[in-house]
Amino acid sequence: MRILLLSCLLAVAGAASATSPADAFWDRFEPLCGKAFEGRLVQKPAGDNGFAGKRLVMHVRDCAQDRIRIPFAVGEDLSRTWVLTRRGDRIELKHDHRHADGTPEEVTRYGGTAANAGRADAQYFPADEETRQVIEYAFSNVWSMRFESDASFSYGVQRLGTDRVFRVDFDLSREVEAPPAPWGWKN
């Protein structure tokens, strides 16, 4: 009887720990839902000053079972939203860019799906065919999202074969006031 009980307990414990890395990564957003965090520019491509000196805020604004939307405010620019979508055992990252009137920008919906389940603390998204069609020169981009710790989140992109790297680190230990709704959102 003891052996049967022990076997059952081990089976339940094994099932509980069988969470995939993608699931574990996804679950890390749950306590962040509805919260906003300020970031700092850590790396940028030479000569690219579009983010320099601007307040950078990510807002984990919309969390659903299969989609998380994270507006990324750059100063007063509310055009950017990162859209994470579950695709089976993988996660897809798309960038939704809007004009101030809410209409889609010409360059929008770029990104990619993780090539594998990743890690519980990191996911990498190589550019997909849709990205190559929208931004041909970005065909070798790889976006990353990483939880450096429970108190730090990093978003970045690297263009493989070049020295073009962009990265923003966000302080998850200090919640800030959420920015206004992104352009194109009703509320």
Band (18; pLDDT cuts 50, 70, 90): low
pLDDT digits (tens, 9 = 90+) for 76-135: 999 999 999 999 999 999 999 999 999 999 999 999 999 999 999 999 999 999 999 999
Tens digits of per-residue pLDDT, 28-64?
A: 999 999 999 999 999 998 888 889 899 999 999 999 9
Q: What is the CATH number of domain 18-176?
A: 2.40.128.20
Decide if 54 contacts 38 (C-beta within 8 A). no
Q: How many residues does the chain have?
A: 187
Residue 11: per-residue pLDDT: 45
Verdict on whether the full-model pTM lies above 0.85: yes
- Residues 91 and 66: their CA atoms lie apart, in Å, by 9
| Residue (of 59, 49, 45, 80) closest to 167 by Cα position | 45
Tokens of 187: 């509320």
Over residues 164-169, mean pLDDT: 96
Q: Is the confidence at residue 74, as pLDDT, over 90? A: yes
